[in-house]
A and B are shown apart, each in its own frame.
Chain A
Amino acid sequence: MENQVLENAVDDISLIKNIIEKTRKSFSGFSKIFIMWGILYLFMSALSFLQSMNMELTLSIYNEHRYLNYLVPAILFGIGAIIYFKVTKSQPLVGLERHLMVLWILVLIMQLVRMKVELSMDLELLDGITSNNELTQIVTTSSFAYITYGLGIASVMTGIFTELKNFKILGLVYVVLALIHSYVGPGSMYEMLSSLGYVILPFTLIYTGLYLKRHHERSEVDGTQLDS
Chain B
Amino acid sequence: MELNSIPDIFQSKIRIAIVSCLLTGTKTFKEIKELTGATDGNISTHMSKLKAASCVEVVKDFEKNKPRTRYTLTEQGRKEFEDYVNRLEEIIKLADQIKK
Contact = CB atoms under 8 A, between A and B. Distances in A.
Residue among A2, A5, A13, A95 with the highest chain B CB neighbour number at 10 A: A5
A90 interface: yes
B44 interface: no
Interface string B7-33: 000101110110011011110100100
Interface in B47-100: 63, 68, 85, 88-89, 91-92, 94-95, 98
Given A4-B3, A19-B36, A228 B13 contact: yes
A224 B16 CA distance: 14
Given A19-B21, A224-B37, A226-B36, A92 B88 contact: no
B17 A226 contact: yes
A129 interface: no
Interface stretch (A20-28, A38-46, A173-181): A20-28
A23 B35 contact: yes
B28 to A, nearest CB: 8
Contact of B16 (A16, A24, A91, A223): A16
A8 B3 contact: yes
A75 B52 CA distance: 48
Interface residues of A, number: 32
Contacts of A11: 13
Interface string A193-228: 000000000000000000000000000100111111
A15 B3 CA distance: 18
Given A92-B25, A220-B37, A226-B42, A19 B20 contact: yes
A91 B23 CA distance: 15
B17 A19 contact: yes
Given A1-B94, A5-B1, A13-B89, A95 B35 contact: no
Contacts of B36: 19, 226
Interface of A: 1-2, 4-6, 8-13, 15-16, 19-20, 22-24, 26, 28, 90-92, 94-95, 220, 223-228
Q: Please name the 7 residue pairs, one residue from A and one from B, whose CB atoms are nearest each other, closest first.
A: A19-B20, A9-B91, A225-B37, A9-B88, A94-B24, A226-B38, A16-B20
Interface of B: 1-3, 10, 12-14, 16-17, 20-21, 23-26, 28, 31, 34-38, 42, 63, 68, 85, 88-89, 91-92, 94-95, 98
30 contacts: A1-B91, A1-B95, A1-B98, A4-B3, A5-B3, A6-B91, A6-B92, A9-B92, A10-B92, A11-B13, A12-B16, A16-B20, A19-B36, A20-B20, A23-B23, A26-B31, A90-B28, A90-B63, A91-B31, A92-B25, A92-B26, A94-B25, A223-B37, A224-B37, A226-B14, A226-B36, A226-B38, A226-B42, A228-B12, A228-B14
